[in-house]
């Protein structure tokens, strides 16, 4: 039984996350900053202006993914871009059981969010968005496309602004490499994201796994045994001092009022 505890602990450590990747190849952007642009002039059925669409994208970036403290990836709100009608009308994948990205709508770089009215992409009105990295070199994502359901039957237009922000944030997660999380309290949970207002712990684990923040080391990573202590000691002392002072005042208070 003795060896079971360490085994269990290591198993729990290895399986501490539940996030998945949106592919088996661990595709990631190579750069630390990825811009999210919006295709202009295509959102006919969901009834929002290009400017509002870009604003929603900006909030999706700021309120969700850029708040992951342990990830080096920063998403930037881009601009409204003019593109061929194919981005509004075409299939996201060419025919086949496995999705081969449609080369006619390859995104040259970064992430593009576009309204799309293709009823094969959106076979159900409840599908609000579809996303795929569609310009890849080896294991590197060069460009990804996010399509928002702009068919006549779309339900995207029935959502509140906050819900639209969360939906696009969810799709952005797919665009930079994440799959779905089985953890319900996650932006990347597969089902409804209508009540999401912030990243869940599993979302932060996922983005940090794909885009770990580099920890700068000044000099060697040594442990100081000299007795002078590392820089955290003064903070600890201050902390103890505050506690000590508080205790002193508390005692004085007791004296005064009893
Ligand atoms: Zn999804």
CATH of the domain at 102: 3.40.390.10
Ligand 1: distance of its center to the CA of 171 in Å?
A: 6
pLDDT of res. 48: 94
Ligand 1: distance of its center to the CA of 1 in Å?
A: 42
pLDDT of res. 142: 98
Q: Is residue 95 part of a domain?
A: yes
Ligand 1: distance of its center to the CA of 145 in Å?
A: 13
Residue 143 predicted with pLDDT over 50: yes
Q: Is residue 8 part of a domain?
A: no
Q: Is residue 159 part of a domain?
A: yes
Closest C-alpha among 46, 23, 212, 47 to residue 128: 46
Q: Is residue 250 part of a domain?
A: no
Ligand 1: distance of its center to the CA of 33 in Å?
A: 22
Q: Is residue 29 part of a domain?
A: yes
Phi, then psi, of 189 in degrees rounded to 5: -60, 140
More confident residue, 243 or 173: 173
Q: Is residue 50 part of a domain?
A: yes
pLDDT of res. 221: 56
pLDDT of res. 227: 55
pLDDT of res. 230: 46
pLDDT of res. 194: 61
Range of the structural domain that residue 184 is part of: 18-210
pLDDT of res. 22: 79
Ligand 1: distance of its center to the CA of 222 in Å?
A: 43
In this structure, how many other beta carbons lie within 10 angstroms of the beta carbon of residue 209? 17
Q: What is the pLDDT of residues 154-177, one digit of tens each?
A: 999 999 999 999 999 999 999 999
Q: Is residue 126 part of a domain?
A: yes
Residue 70 predicted with pLDDT over 80: yes
Ligand 1: distance of its center to the CA of 78 in Å?
A: 22
Residue 184 predicted with pLDDT over 70: yes
pLDDT band at 249 (very low <50, low <70, confident <90, very high): very low
Ligand 1: distance of its center to the CA of 229 in Å?
A: 48
Q: Is residue 222 part of a domain?
A: no
**227-232 mean pLDDT:** 48
Domain count of the fold of the chain: 1
Which of 146-160, 193-207, 231-245 tops mean pLDDT? 146-160
Ligand 1: distance of its center to the CA of 232 in Å?
A: 42
Ligand 1: distance of its center to the CA of 180 in Å?
A: 6
């Amino acid at each position: 039984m003795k060896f079971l505890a360490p085994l269990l602990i290591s198993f729990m450590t290895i399986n501490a996350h539940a996030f998945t990747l949106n592919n088996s190849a661990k595709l990631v952007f190579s750069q630390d900053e990825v811009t999210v642009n919006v295709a202009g002039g295509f959102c006919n059925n969901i009834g929002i202006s290009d400017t509002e669409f870009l604003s929603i994208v900006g909030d999706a970036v700021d309120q969700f993914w850029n708040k992951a403290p342990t990830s080096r990836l920063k998403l930037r709100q881009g601009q409204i871009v003019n593109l061929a009608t194919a981005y509004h009308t075409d299939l996201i994948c060419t025919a086949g059981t496995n999705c081969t990205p449609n080369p006619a709508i390859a995104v040259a770089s970064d992430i593009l969010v576009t309204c799309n009215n293709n009823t094969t992409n959106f076979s159900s009105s409840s599908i609000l968005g579809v996303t795929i990295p569609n310009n890849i070199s080896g294991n590197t994502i060069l460009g990804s496309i996010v399509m928002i359901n702009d068919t006549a039957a779309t339900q995207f237009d029935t959502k509140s602004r906050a819900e639209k922000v969360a939906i696009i944030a969810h799709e952005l997660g797919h665009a930079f490499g994440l799959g779905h999380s089985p953890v319900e309290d996650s932006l990347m949970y597969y089902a409804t994201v209508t009540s999401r207002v912030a990243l869940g712990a599993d979302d932060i684990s996922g983005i940090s796994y794909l885009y770990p923040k580099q920890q700068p080391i000044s000099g060697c990573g040594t442990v100081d045994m000299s007795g002078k202590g590392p820089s955290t000691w003064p903070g600890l002392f201050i902390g103890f001092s505050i506690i000590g002072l508080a205790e002193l005042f508390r005692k004085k208070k007791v004296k005064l009022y009893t």
